[in-house]
Amino acid sequence: MGKRVGMEVAIAAAEAAALCKFDVASVYPITPQSHVAEHLADIVNDGRVDASFITVESEHSALSSAMGASATGARVVTATSSQGLLYMGEVMPITSSMRLPIVMLIANRAISGPINIWNDHSDIMPMRDTGWISFFAENGQEVVDMTIQAFRVGEDRRVMLPVNVNMDGFQLPHMVEPIFFPDQEEVDRFLPEYVPYATLHPDRPVSMGTLGMPEIYAEAQKAKDVAVVNSIKVVKEVWKEWEKLFGRKYEPIQSYRTRDADVALVTMGSMGETAEIAVDALRKQGVKAGLLKIKLWRPFPFAELKKAVKGIRVLAVTDRACSFGGPGGPVCSEIRSALYEESVRPAIVNYLIGLGGRDVQAEDFMEMVRRAAKGKLSEPYEFYGVRG
Amino acid sequence: MWCSGCGIGVMLGAMLRAFEELDYRNADTVVVTGIGCTGKSDDYLLTNALHTTHGRALAYATGIKAFNPKLHVVVLMGDGDSVTIGGNHFIHAARRNIDLTAIVINNFNFGMTGGQASGTTPGGSFTSTTAWGNPERDFDICALAEVAGANYVARETPYHGWELKELIKEALNKKGFSLVEVFSPCPTHFGKNNEMKEPREMLDWFKERGLPVERYRKLSAEEQENHFAIGKLVDRDAPDFNTRYEEIRVRATAQKAG
């Protein structure tokens, strides 16, 4: 029944992919994802998984060759970060349109400029609308679990979509954490062999990626939207099964001490753990603070959010990316929109935090809650603690 | 900011001495860099500098030179920038024969991210993504520039510092696309994985294997396998992009006026 080991999370992510017996890994190295790339290569080179590792010449080629491999029926993993993810941007919507269930491990990192190698979510946010399912991990354990879950969800015949697993760059991939690994037999039972819907095969030829005229393009877009929207059922089903098998609970929105909360923080990614510390400290001071952690970014869990905010007076939504000239950070923008039709809804304040690796401590979250308790900031959104 | 034994500093020193000897001014010189160890060079420079994205430095530089031909445009790239992620721009800059000088540090792997295989990692050698040997072949950067149409192509190593400066000077003076490839030791990654852990060992490798091009060309094909040519490999005077563009502009203007 599995084992608990101390392991660098980047390596653990690659190990999780190995437990899924990928057929092809196609990766271009970029900080802070490089150890994922190297360890996937080692796993293949050491013959631990019967697979090919392609030392591609760019991220664009990484996802393109990943798609080629997936189109022949292979189980494929790739990984990237920051500018590399943007460079994959041309390919990503096509991966989901061709319904190729590739899994991508993303070590989230700020995008240029100025050039910055540290963590925020500005790389994945521009990729929001590419039709990929997006998981956000909070710690190393979740990176491992979500990597295995990603293959299962993506390859489900009711889904057939690519999935990205987001882990905050450096904060997660570069940390050594205690992680429970399931046994190979357990993973084999959880993740059956991949049966592709259609493959490029000489005996039964198919065409993929052909031109969509105006008469059919819109229908193709609608079909993809329906697929992404409906995939939430499968995500939740798979997460329930995971909980039953391994005892670790996953929900699209995870609530922490929100039952009687007056003000609740909203986080996505590794900062959830720091925010928990802040909530505990505030509770000790008698402040009714709570926390909502978003684990599923796409498809966005609208119903789960509405349920989770019941009774909360103010939401302090944190964002780790800017939408320049827009209504606030992308997470907050989503939440405002999700709650607009509700007759009873919390007041919402928005903090942009942790940009380009800027440290955010528990005390900062406490301060955000204290100020949010007033129900309004002087601006629609605030660059928390930023000079100028 | 580079590891001890790295060749980038030697290249940068040679380039700056060449600037000085040619009386380049900070204001009329632009150094364009990409991403990776070599991309960090601009942090040391007082000239105009444009630090760009991975692999695209030549495309940015093309824009600079096309709009302002009076500027001296020098592009510093590693083997990742120049012929791996940015290979397409490399061959097109040479084909277009745009008047700029590309200096390529070739350390045979992606040094910045931890020594993974690149487009110039020799077949069979060991990197952090090819633990049992690289199954792929490597690019000959100079040959690539030559067939793509560069006016000037040279190769040197940090072992030959004075010669390197002289070649860079010649390349800077040459109109059209000029390339100086600089083989560089990477004892931290490539050397460590390929039995050349000490910086000296990689320099010795360059010293023993690098032959002046005249001598190299006299070797048999079999003998050439153990060596590489250094010095000036290509020197020609095909008209550069701006010259050709200007010719067409003048002709078109005259025809329209006539």
Q: What is the pLDDT of residues A320-366, one digit of tens each?
A: 999 999 999 999 999 999 999 999 999 999 999 999 999 999 999 99
Measured between alpha carbons, how far apart are the two ends of chain A, in Å? 54
Mean pLDDT of A255-275: 98
- A367: part of which helix (H) or strand (E)? helix A362-372
| Closest residue to B113, CB basis, from A34, A45, A58 | A34
| B119 near A CB under 8 A | yes
Does pLDDT of A155 surpass 70?
Answer: yes
Question: How close is the nearest chain B Cα to the Cα of A81, in Å?
Answer: 12
Pairing mode of beta strands A133-136, A296-298 = antiparallel
**Are A192 and A132 within 8 A, CB to CB?**
no
| A53 near B CB under 8 A | yes
- Candidates A57, A80, A88, A117: best to mutate against B (most CBs of B within 10 A) is A57
Whole-number pLDDT of residue A271: 98
- Candidates A8, A11, A55, A85: best to mutate against B (most CBs of B within 10 A) is A55
User: What CA–CA distance (Å, rounded) separates A374 from B245?
Assistant: 64
| B54 near A CB under 8 A | yes
Q: Do B114 and A35 touch (CB under 8 A)?
A: yes
Does pLDDT of B247 surpass 90?
Answer: yes
Write out B44-79 in H/E/C secondary structure.
HCCCEEEECCCCCHHHHHHHHHHHCCCCEEEEEEEH
Chain A residues in contact with B113 (beta carbon < 8 A): 29-31, 34
User: Cβ contacts of residue A237 below 8 Å, gap of 6+?
Assistant: none
Chain B residues in contact with A83 (beta carbon < 8 A): 35, 53-54
| B109 near A CB under 8 A | no
Q: Do A41 and B51 touch (CB under 8 A)?
A: no
User: What CA–CA distance (Å, rounded) separates B85 from B120?
Assistant: 12
Domains, chain A: 3-246 (3.40.50.970), 253-383 (3.40.50.920)
If you search the block for the tokens 């606030």, which residue do you land on?
Answer: A328
Question: How close is the nearest chain A Cα to the Cα of B20, in Å?
Answer: 30
* Chain B, nearest residue to A62 by Cα: B85
The model's pLDDT over A47-88, given as tens digits with 9 standing for 90+, comes to 999 999 999 999 999 999 999 999 999 999 999 999 999 999
Chain A residues in contact with B136 (beta carbon < 8 A): 55
User: What CA–CA distance (Å, rounded) separates A293 from A266?
Assistant: 6
Which strand ranges, in their side-by-side order, compose the sheet holding A103-108? A52-54, A24-26, A76-80, A103-108, A163-168, A133-136, A296-298
A110 closest CA partner among A38, A165, A168:
A168
Q: Residue B218: exposed, middle, or buried by beta-carbon count in 10 A (0-12, 13-18, 19+)? A: exposed
Q: At what angle do helices B8-21 and B161-173 cross, to 10 degrees?
A: 50
Pairing mode of beta strands A253-256, A289-294 = antiparallel
CATH of domain B8-257: 3.40.50.970
User: What CA–CA distance (Å, rounded) separates B171 from B161?
Assistant: 15
Which range among A83-92, A203-212, B166-175 shows the weakest confidence by mean pLDDT?
Answer: A203-212
Whole-number pLDDT of residue A287: 98
Mean pLDDT of A167-185: 97
The model's pLDDT over B183-193, given as tens digits with 9 standing for 90+, comes to 999 999 999 99
| A57 near B CB under 8 A | yes
- Token pair recorded at residue B132: 């049992």
**Neighbouring C-alpha atoms within 13 Å toward the C-beta of B5:** 19
**Neighbouring C-alpha atoms within 13 Å toward the C-beta of A235:** 28
Mean pLDDT of chain B: 96
Measured between alpha carbons, how far apart are the two ends of chain B, in Å? 59
B154 closest CA partner among B3, B5, B18, B6:
B18
Mean pLDDT of B74-82: 98
Give the E-state strand segments of chain A in sequence order.
3-8, 24-26, 52-54, 76-80, 103-108, 133-136, 163-168, 176-181, 253-256, 263-268, 289-294, 296-298, 314-319, 347-352, 382-383
Chain B residues in contact with A34 (beta carbon < 8 A): 113-114, 116
Chain A residues in contact with B117 (beta carbon < 8 A): 55
In chain A, the largest separation of any two C-alpha atoms, in whole Å, equals 70
Does pLDDT of A1 surpass 80?
Answer: no
Domain ranges, ordered by start, for chain B: 8-257
Q: Do A34 and B119 touch (CB under 8 A)?
A: no
| A83 near B CB under 8 A | yes
User: What CA–CA distance (Å, rounded) separates A81 from A32?
Assistant: 7
Q: What is the ipTM of this complex?
A: 0.93
DSSP reduced 3-state for A53: strand
Question: How close is the nearest chain A Cα to the Cα of B148, in Å?
Answer: 19
Whole-number pLDDT of residue B1: 85
Whole-number pLDDT of residue A2: 75
- Candidates A35, A36, A58: best to mutate against B (most CBs of B within 10 A) is A58
Whole-number pLDDT of residue A3: 85
Whole-number pLDDT of residue B258: 78
Question: What's the Cα-to-Cα distance from B142 to each of A238, A363, B175, B232, B235, rounded to whole Å?
Answer: 54, 57, 18, 10, 12
A105 closest CA partner among A184, A21, A34:
A34
- Looking at the DSSP bridge assignments, the partners of residue B232 are B154
| B128 near A CB under 8 A | yes
The model's pLDDT over B113-134, given as tens digits with 9 standing for 90+, comes to 999 999 999 999 999 999 999 9
A355 closest CA partner among A315, A379, A387:
A387
